[in-house]
Structures are given as C-alpha cells and as structure tokens.
Amino acid sequence: LISSPKSQGLHVIHIAAEMAPVAKVGGLGDVVTGLGKELQKRGHLVEIVLPKYDCMNYELIHDLRVLDFEVESYFDGQLFRNKIWIGTVEGLPVYFVEPIHPDKFFWRGQYYGEHDDFKRFSFFSRAALELLLQAGKKPDIIHCHDWQTAFVAPLYWDIYAPKGLNSARICFTCHNFEYQGAASASDLASCGLDVNRLNRPDRMQHHSGPDRVNPVKGAIVFSNIVTTVSPTYAQEVRTSEGGRGLHATLNSHSKKFVGILNGIDTDAWNPATDNLLKVQYRAQDISGKAENKEALRRYLNLSSANIRQPLVGCITRLVPQKGVHLIRHALYRTVDLGGQFVLLGSSPVPHIQREFEDIANHFRNHEHAQLILKYDESLAHLIYAASDIFIIPSIFEPCGLTQMIAMRYGSIPIARKTGGLNDSVFDLDDETVPKQFRNGFTFLNPDEQGISNVLERAFYHYKNNTEDWKQLVQKVMGLDFSWESSAAVYEELYHKSVARARATNRVH
C-alpha cells in the first residue's frame, strides 16, 4: 500500500463512482481525474477509491493487480469480504473494491440505472471507508462526490471516526442537484447508519416527508466542505426554484458551501496536438481550422461551396436539461439564416430520441444540416475544430464543459445565461462586461425568440466583421480553462479546513 505524503503536501482520498477515462458517464468522472492530476502535480498525495465495475475500460488501467489483503465490510447485518485491486490511471493510484456479495453489485454491465443502486452505492461507501481504516490510512481530506458516495459523510462521523479513522476532514462535491438518490428511510439501515438518528428534517430526511431519506442532504449536513461546480449554480441552488428541495439546507450550511468552476483536460483537448483532427492548429495560425471545416463538410456531405458560410456545432446529451426544443429551433433557424448546422448527440429518453431521428431523416440529404445521433468521441473532436459557432442553450447547467472545449478549438459559444455557462461565456455586445472578458454570445429567455435573436447577432458579427471575428477566435483559443486555478481553490479550502480542525483540537 502506498505510503504517506511528504511534509507540506496533503493526503487526499477521493471516493467516487466514476473516474475518466476508465469509468466515465459524465462530468463527475472528468473532475475526479482532472482535479486529482492537478493536485498531484502540486505535491499532494492523491488516491482514488472506485468500485471494480465489470464494464470499465480495463486497457486504460496500468499494473492492475489484486492485493493479498481482503477487507470485510458490514451490510444488512452481515460481514462481506471485498477483494481490493490496485492500479494506476492517468498517473493516479486507484483502489478498486470488488465486493464478494451474492448480488454482484458491480457486475451488471453498466454503471448506474439498476433497481438497487441505493444498495450498491451505500455498500460501496461503507466498504471504501473500511478499506481506509484497515489499511491504516491517515488522510487529511476524504473527498466524496454526488449521491452515490454521499453516504461517506455520515458514515465517517458516526461510525469510522469513533473506530479510529479520524484524521480527515470531509469534502463533498455535488455535480448536479437533480440527482439526490432519495430512497425509503429504512434502506439507510443496511449500511449501518442509524435511521432514527438521521431521519430528521435537519439531517437526512427528504423534503417529501418522513418516510424518505436523502443522501445528498446528509452529505451537506455532515461534510466540512461542500462544493458544487460553478459559482452561479451555487447561487441558483440556494433558491427555491433551483434547489430541488435542498435550498433551505444549503442556506443553513452556506458558510461551508462554495461553487468552483471545473477545468477541462487541456492535454486531451488541444488543437495543436490533437491527432483526431485532419490538421492541427494553434491560435497564432488558425488556417488549419478552415481545413478541418472542409474535412467535416466532405465527411458529412455538406456543401463546401462557400468557405465563409458559418458552421454551427452542437454536441450534447439530448435531455430536457440541455434545452432540446431550443436546439431544434436553432437548427431550423440556422438553415434559414444561411448557415450550416451539425448536431452530435444521443438521448436516453425514447421520445426525444425518436423526435430527433425524424428530424435527422428530414435532413438526410440536406447540404446544410446533418444530425448524427450517437456518442462518437472522434467525431466530437472534428466538430469542435470545424465549427465557427457552438450552441449550448441549456435550461440549467451546473458547469458545462462543451463551451470551454469549443473555445479551446476556436469555436465561439452561444450559451444561455445559467449556471457555469454564466461564469464562462460573456457577451460580445454586453457593455457591462469589460471588453477583455467578452468571448461569445449569451441569451436569457429559454424560448424561440431568445435563441433566434442571439443566433442573428452571432451571424451578423461573423459576416460583417471578418477581421474582428478572427481576432475573437484567436483570443478564445488562448483563454485558460485548465484545472490549475480551480485546483488552487480546492487546495486552499482543504488547507483551511485542516488548519481549523488542528486549531480546534489544540483548544480541547
């Protein structure tokens, strides 16, 4: 097992359900890896604990081996053995917990969406803490994420600190308050938590009433640091409209709650080195961008007649959160305005997927619009590079990564003013924003008029101010969306929390 960190560095252990690129469903996976790598670079010892899923990308785990050390953890009145595997992912040491349990919790061919998710992840949260205790770890920070590992916070204080795993402060990050993992109150007992003690309005009781508990609420109450993924989203979730029932809890714990904008992996998303592109390019010389536009048009059978015809891109999960009706409207409006539109997306919602399949059929042989309704990482890279404008008309957006990736590839974002989009996209025509920060186009009203107007403005700038547009492209390509500054904020929060704990311990 890995030894303790050197002098100044903190020992940070993430307990999470995802980690890119081995086990990624969404932004959570990117944050665990991106933040972890940056903290490691800054001299901290970072370790990750993940479930050992059958469906992970095993080829991306280096030196995976099973330890000759099993961990017994409690669940439903019994002790179960867990095999512990260790490997390296993106240079970070990762422990994989494999429960020896008849329900084969992580042997399901998918990460989430099983009928017993609450059971699977409350089991995992407890097993992960048991691993830290039995391995003799003395972390400074245990960082848990989203409802799947939110159980860690109450488990730590109620069960593991008394058992001697008591060196740590707990940090909880919520990546999307839409998902809170609420379940029957009685289910909470399986992992050993005391339902009577916790099923109270000021602790874990769900807002719907006394028969349900809410793990995210528990983590807000029982963590030392609570974060979400952008400053604007942190404000929004403290209102009754945005908080999904948790606004009151967040307000009463507001002192420890902050929004920190995620970074992107600037090594993976770099047009100067991206091998998936037809031609690599950099801000100093963007001629390669036009070649990628030409390549994408040929690949998708779009007209190449006019190099100055603006190409609008959109890459997204097609779910209501992303403003699907606005995306649809933007597609038709772009074609009306004389532009081209490329959508890459897929939907887990059957009626949305069907609706977009119909639209895709309508545009099948169209020379100005194409819809590709699947998940395709390589094509995503080419669209970021080829597009002139990129739309993200989300209804709500905790952080959003696509606007940052688009800018890195010189595609100018059109974003709705919400959540992390509001913290990263600033309107070119907004006189209240200092000129140096303006980098795209924004709109507020989530209706057809709102998206039409902003598209028209963007087209106007693109068509009438060619030189200004080129400078804008070069400017946004040079913006810093790396993890460096965000990781520094997390580092400071960790340090302050550890210092507070030490000061308190000295007093008592």
**Two tokens, residue 127:** 């097993």
Contact (Cβ atoms closer than 8 angstroms) between residue 5 and residue 11: yes
Beta carbons within 10 angstroms of residue 295's beta carbon: 17
Contact (Cβ atoms closer than 8 angstroms) between residue 32 and residue 169: no
**Cα 15 to the chain's mean position, in Å?**
15
Question: In the complex, what is the shortest distance from the CB of residue 227 to ligand ADP, in angstroms, rounded to a whole number?
Answer: 16
Question: In the complex, what is the shortest distance from the CB of residue 416 to ligand ADP, in angstroms, rounded to a whole number?
Answer: 13
Question: Which one, 141 or 342, has the nearer CB to ligand ADP?
Answer: 342
Element (H, E) at 407: helix 402-408
**Two tokens, residue 260:** 């920190």
Question: In the complex, what is the shortest distance from the CB of residue 25 to ligand ADP, in angstroms, rounded to a whole number?
Answer: 8
Beta carbons within 10 angstroms of residue 480's beta carbon: 10
Beta carbons within 10 angstroms of residue 6's beta carbon: 9
Question: Which one, 128 or 405, has the nearer CB to ligand ADP?
Answer: 405
Question: Which one, 346 or 353, has the nearer CB to ligand ADP?
Answer: 346
User: Half-sphere exposure (CA, 13 Å, Cβ side) for 206?
Assistant: 18
Question: Which one, 190 or 346, has the nearer CB to ligand ADP?
Answer: 346
User: Residue 392's closest CA among 459, 462, 470, 446?
Assistant: 446
Question: Which one, 198 or 406, has the nearer CB to ligand ADP?
Answer: 406
Question: In the complex, what is the shortest distance from the CB of residue 78 to ligand ADP, in angstroms, rounded to a whole number?
Answer: 37
Question: In the complex, what is the shortest distance from the CB of residue 315 to ligand ADP, in angstroms, rounded to a whole number?
Answer: 5
Question: In the complex, what is the shortest distance from the CB of residue 380 to ligand ADP, in angstroms, rounded to a whole number?
Answer: 4
Question: Which one, 27 or 440, has the nearer CB to ligand ADP?
Answer: 27
* E strands present in 18-61: 45-51
Question: Which one, 122 or 411, has the nearer CB to ligand ADP?
Answer: 411
* Cα distance between residue 378 and residue 369, in whole Å: 19
Question: In the complex, what is the shortest distance from the CB of residue 342 to ligand ADP, in angstroms, rounded to a whole number?
Answer: 12
- 250: Cβ–Cβ under 8 A, 6 or more apart, which residues? 220, 226, 237, 238, 243, 257
Question: In the complex, what is the shortest distance from the CB of residue 381 to ligand ADP, in angstroms, rounded to a whole number?
Answer: 9
**Cα 10 to the chain's mean position, in Å?**
24
Beta carbons within 10 angstroms of residue 32's beta carbon: 30
Question: Which one, 181 or 345, has the nearer CB to ligand ADP?
Answer: 345
**Two tokens, residue 430:** 């907004």
Question: In the complex, what is the shortest distance from the CB of residue 398 to ligand ADP, in angstroms, rounded to a whole number?
Answer: 7
Q: Which residues bind ligand ADP (CB under 6 A)?
A: 26-27, 315-317, 344-346, 375-377, 380, 399-402
Local structure of residue 8 (DSSP, 8 states): T
Question: Which one, 84 or 399, has the nearer CB to ligand ADP?
Answer: 399
Contact (Cβ atoms closer than 8 angstroms) between residue 170 and residue 159: no
Question: Which one, 34 or 154, has the nearer CB to ligand ADP?
Answer: 34
* Cα distance between residue 266 and residue 20, in whole Å: 14
Question: In the complex, what is the shortest distance from the CB of residue 321 to ligand ADP, in angstroms, rounded to a whole number?
Answer: 7
If DSSP codes are grouped into helix, strand and coil, which group holds residue 177?
A: coil
